[in-house]
Amino acid sequence: MSKQAIIIDCDPGQDDAINLLLAMSSPDEIDILGITAVAGNVPLARTERNARLMCDIAGRSDIPVYAGCARPMVRDLVTAEKVHGRTGIDGVEITEPVLPLQEQNAVDFIVDTLRAADDETITLVPTGPLTNIATAITKAPDILPKVKEIVLMGGAMRESGNHSPSAEFNILVDPQAADIVFKCGRPITQMGLDVSHQVLSTRERIDRIKKIDNQAAQATVGMLDFFNRHDTKKYNYVGAPLHDPCTVAYLLRPDIFEGKLCNVSIETQSELTMGNTAVDFWHVTDRPRNTNWIHAVDADAFYELLTSHLARFDK
Ligand code: BDR
Ligand code: CA
């Protein structure tokens, strides 16, 4: 596999944080050009801090972290402390990160980095509301040819919604941004709730990670334990769905996922179904097939990948 150049755009969040650790455990496969933070699960000041803390834990002071948009494009910010705790990454000991925040705004970093790249060379990996990405596209549409692919977490079809009856959190927080991204014309691979609800962090899976004697693995266990408390009650599942790591797992092992090329369109008008992702799974319209809609995953292989990669970190 040739090394993939990526920008991770995120709102950590325990699952974003674990996704960062998975990506940072894979320097031979993935070149992280930068991590850009956006407001979402918690306000921006916490998401950027949490991203830097993960770089500290991973020993990756070589990765620059940028702060981007503090609120959605049109709507008011909605956060999810109920799910993630006050810090966004409850379950981990919070200290002031050693890695400094970059001065440049995340949106400008995305624009400048893409402008300097060759065509179709950079993969964007958004795991939060799509505000930073859509703002960059709106500000500099000339960056689009540089994007190889957008591999994102958001949306739902069969699993309907987790933050409203018809919408998934990331899309619901900034539907206008999602609408811009899904209409941008670049290839999209989408990890929605239909697939993330298949990768459940069961006790047995967490216990396997617990045996790994390094800080990244122990931080992951703390975060998964916290995540489980809320989600097992909400869904009555045997473990919490591990949403965001589906994105980097896909970059590392696309063969363990199953997808179908479909049109996905975003509801931006109706208050009742705001942020709904209308997935044309059976091709009943002639709308462009803009998205590789992922609908199945080998969950055991997913956790095997996560566990073996976390074991790569030094003590
Ligand atoms: C998504 O919403 C957030 O709470 C998680 O970090 C994930 O990105 C799941 O709906
Ligand atoms: Ca997220």
**Along the 315 residues of the chain, how does pLDDT read in single tens digits?**
689 999 999 999 999 999 999 999 999 999 999 999 999 999 999 999 999 999 999 999 999 999 999 999 999 999 999 999 999 999 999 999 999 999 999 999 999 999 999 999 999 999 999 999 999 999 999 999 999 999 999 999 999 999 999 999 999 999 999 999 999 999 999 999 999 999 999 999 999 999 999 999 999 999 999 988 888 888 888 899 999 999 999 999 999 999 999 999 999 999 999 999 999 999 999 999 999 999 999 999 999 999 999 999 988
Strands 264-266 and 291-297 turn out to be unpaired
Residues with CB under 6 A from ligand 1: 13, 15-16, 41, 80, 83, 127-128, 153, 162, 168-170, 243-244
Single-letter residue type at 310: L
Single-letter residue type at 60: R
Which residue in the list 84, 163, 197, 243 is annotated as catalytic?
Answer: 243
CA nearest neighbour of 237 among 201, 271, 281, 275 = 201
Q: How far does residue 116's CA lie from ligand 1's centre (Å)?
A: 31
Overall pTM surpassing 0.85 (yes/no) = yes
163 catalytic residue (yes or no): no
- The answer to whether the CB of 26 falls within 8 A of the CB of 4 is no
**Structural domains of the chain sorted by starting position, each given as residue range(s) with its CATH number in brackets:** 4-314 (3.90.245.10)
Class of residue 101 by CB neighbours under 10 A (exposed 0-12, middle 13-18, buried 19+): middle
Q: How far does residue 309's CA lie from ligand 1's centre (Å)?
A: 22
Q: What does the pLDDT read at residue 1? A: 65
